[in-house]
Structure 1
Amino acid sequence: MKVLSYRDPGYVEFVQGLKRRAIPGDDVRDLVSGIISEVSAKGDAALFEYARRFDRVELSKESLFVSEAEFAEAKKAVSPATKKAIAASLKNITEFAKRSMRKDWSYRNAEGARVGERFTPFERVGVYVPGGKAPLVSTALMTAGFAKAAKVPEILGATPCGPDGKVNPALLYALYAAGVREVIKIGGAQAIAAMALGTESVSPVDRVFGPGNKFVVEAKRQLVGAVSIDLLPGPSEVLVLSDKTGNAEFIAADLLAQAEHGGDSVIGFVTDSKALIGKVQKAIGRQLETLSRAEYIREVIEKETFMLHVKSFADGVAISNDFAPEHLSLVCAEEKKWLKEIRTAGAIYVGNLSAVAVGDFLAGPSHTLPTGGGGRSFSGLRADQFQRRTSVVKLDAGAVKKSLASVEEFARIEGLDAHGRSVSIRVEN
């Protein structure tokens, strides 16, 4: 892991490099572009070929979608404890979503026109759930659960299956509980392309949601226009920003928990207490030996983890805002003061007891959050992203008359006399 103090050579250069932009490499861009073109041109056949190549599974039109029998088998296979945990998470998601959805509104403007907005759910959305080393049951809930709360009529799920053609039963049960009735057994950029463009078997969606690896993220980026997207959530990140009040054992546990995702995960710890860095390092060493996924975690700790000793807590806050972490754990004596200064984090966990994993699984807000520096431009997934906004304007005779002079002046300035005439004709008649 990289450990630097503000006094060390290379510190300034390293910190400057933490101000990231989520820009893909040419190799990723070109590969994804090719996959999208193949799916667009060949449809189902391209999906089956990529499933064979990447997931080592033979799929057909008959096995592309999860069947009703597979949903039923999953329900039987899942333990009561898992069902209870899924229900608890969905309950919190639904209650959180209800409070964050936008409501219709209207008012009369200065000319007397009735103007406002109405919000309706998208008719059909796609939610992507990554495969890989673990069944991300919580991701199914943190995407489809919000769609269900927003009353989206049709939710298409996409997740890669195993070589046996099966999807993890707990994941399937979670998708079903969250309102998903269609699931394609496809992962990667090809799944995003299928949902956005459609194939012979897959009906296209209006908007695509969900996290993924760099190829999934790039596919979403390239397909904007064919479909709308939620945000660009990639591999997991955490930044712990702590003063001397931080509990080293808790901090180490949060760092290890996010490193557990493996792959391209990014793990950071910033503090104005040099002594705390040493304590956290020792705690990581102790705790790592007790974890079942130690092999994956150790690689992330060695290659993708940094610890910075900053001159002041204010410097740490500045670094956090430049880094724009997916998850920020803020541990300090003056919580209210410093919380106000955090601007770019996807989600903030305040205090020693606020484990990031509670937000990942249960608390209510979605854990689908911007990564790679995207927090400067995007917010995390929200219920109102499943709503289509439409503005509404209604004028009566008095409002048209009061609007005429200003409209005619704009029409004169812009040389659009038909615009002016479309209003004056209503006043004259």
Structure 2
Amino acid sequence: MMCALPQDGSRFLCMKIYRETDEDYDVALSRMDRRAVPDRNVRETVEKIIADVEARGDEALVDYAERFDHVHLTPDTLRVTDEELQEARAAVSDEVKAAIEASLHNIAYFSKNSMRQDWSGVNAQGCEVGERFVPYRRVGIYVPAGKAPLVSSALMTGGFALAVGVPEIVAVSPCGPDGKMNPALLYALQEAGATEIYKVGGAQAVAALALGTETIKPVEKIFGPGNRFVVEAKRQLVGAVSIDLLPGPSEVMVLADETANPAFVAADLLAQAEHGPDSVIVMVTTSSSLLEKVEEEIEKQAATLNRGAYICEVLDEHAFGFLVPTLKDGAKLANAFAPEHLVLVVNEEDEEETLAGIHTAGAIYVGNYSTVACGDFLAGPSHTLPTGGSGKSFSGIRADQFQRRTSIVRMDKAAAERSVPFVKVFAEVEGLDAHGRSLELRAES
């Protein structure tokens, strides 16, 4: 049955629950082991869009804006103007500005501590070796704006680029049918260091950032979440441009035992369902009692929410609960699912061991008082995280992804002499005598 709010006071169930005794338990578990494989139809659609943008440039962007966003633009109106930016700044309340400032402050703190630093040393043959890390010169950030203006996504991408010192930050995001962008989003992009902002969304925006058009110059790397078409465009354009990861529709997994506060867990599940039917919500627990109490809390809290009935419909279709024998089984399920967000609430004796056993989560929120919402908006780490199982191969956005790495080798004559015997062997084995000779000449000089 659909999980709409009942009018007669009766109970409803918002999650499909799987227990070890159920016949379909093993099948349900196997479905949780995910790989981020693109849908064939999405792949073919995106291939056509990329080819079209490459061939027609701005003209294609204008046509897609008309088709998908129902807005009439021209090449001259693709870019947000200084006047529009000033209007947005004036329209945003002081409360919103303060929240954006607080988030950027924490992003800067987190970035400062996670950036990679230059280093150098001397190897066994006396060569000075090291690494140098410099910011990318020009990056693109994609900010979704379909159901709501994702102000936080602007901060959780552009804010990191700003903290690292990227000089050119190019933002793309779809506008409304009136040709305008949300003032709070525009203000956030300005504060996050955006040097150019374009009213372009979808796979076509990714193609424009990667390949360039008459108006949009190509970037070196693309960051940010998006729908499945945006994610597929990023995947297809690797090579023409670098990408951060493959962040798609949002998802959460809760791994908890009897020590979890059912009201807090229910609130996290409801918050995730608020993202809509693309969300995936999973609860894993060793406590049957907790499952029942969470269901009761969902019913109670949903009745107080403006979109409670809609949220419960999302939970009914996209929420799954697993009753597992042990926390180790729960951690194993978490690693197979590779959740974007993992809320971990277990007793203190098991917390560190369980945490150490989880390898594929994008972000982990530990303890009853840690919430995904704070991570999404304020805490400091980026909320742009791998989804759809891609957490098995990718990690979330971090400061060092905005840095380009270069290795450094510096040798004197003594280092060359000590290196000759080994280089000569490799050159002989691989049949590359010119390689060996290039070092021997230096050693003999």
Shorter-chain TM-score bucket reads: over 0.9
Paired residue for 1:319?
333
Cα separation, 2, equivalents of 1:31 and 1:135? 25
Contact 2:256 2:344 in 1 (8 A): yes
Paired residue for 1:380?
396
SS, match of residue 75 in structure 2: coil
Cα separation, 2, equivalents of 1:199 and 1:299? 42
Contact 1:235 1:263 in 2 (8 A): no
SS, match of residue 379 in structure 1: coil
Amino acid at match of 2:193: G
Paired residue for 2:211?
197
Paired residue for 2:141?
127
SS, match of residue 126 in structure 1: strand
Cα separation, 2, equivalents of 1:169 and 1:396? 58
Paired residue for 2:128?
114
Paired residue for 1:43?
57
* Aligned: 1:11 with 2:11: no
Paired residue for 1:358?
374
Amino acid at match of 1:66: V
Aligned match for 2:247, one of 233, 238, 247: 233
1:337 Cα offset (Å):
2.1
Q: CA RMSD in A?
A: 0.9
Amino acid at match of 1:220: K
SS, match of residue 130 in structure 2: strand
Aligned match for 2:260, one of 246, 270, 292: 246
Contact 1:128 1:210 in 2 (8 A): yes
Aligned match for 1:217, one of 212, 231, 236: 231
* Aligned: 1:393 with 2:393: no
Contact 1:266 1:300 in 2 (8 A): no
**Pairwise mapping of residues 150-161 of structure 1 onto structure 2 (< 5 A)?**
150-161=164-175
1:294 Cα offset (Å):
3.1
Cα separation, 1, equivalents of 2:24 and 2:360? 25
Provide the TM-score with structure 1 as the length reference.
0.99
Aligned match for 2:319, one of 296, 305, 309: 305
SS, match of residue 408 in structure 1: helix
CA 1:132–1:299: 2 relative to 1, 3 Å: farther
Flag structure 2 segments of 5+ consecutive residues without an equivalent: 1-14
Q: Deviations over 1:278-323 (max 9, x none)?
A: 1111111221222223354233211111011112221111101111
Cα separation, 1, equivalents of 2:195 and 2:439? 49
Bigger shift: 297-306 or 24-33? 297-306
* Aligned: 1:418 with 2:434: yes
* Aligned: 1:267 with 2:267: no
Cα separation, 2, equivalents of 1:141 and 1:218? 23
Cα separation, 2, equivalents of 1:292 and 1:189? 32
Contact 2:139 2:170 in 1 (8 A): yes
1:425 Cα offset (Å):
1.1
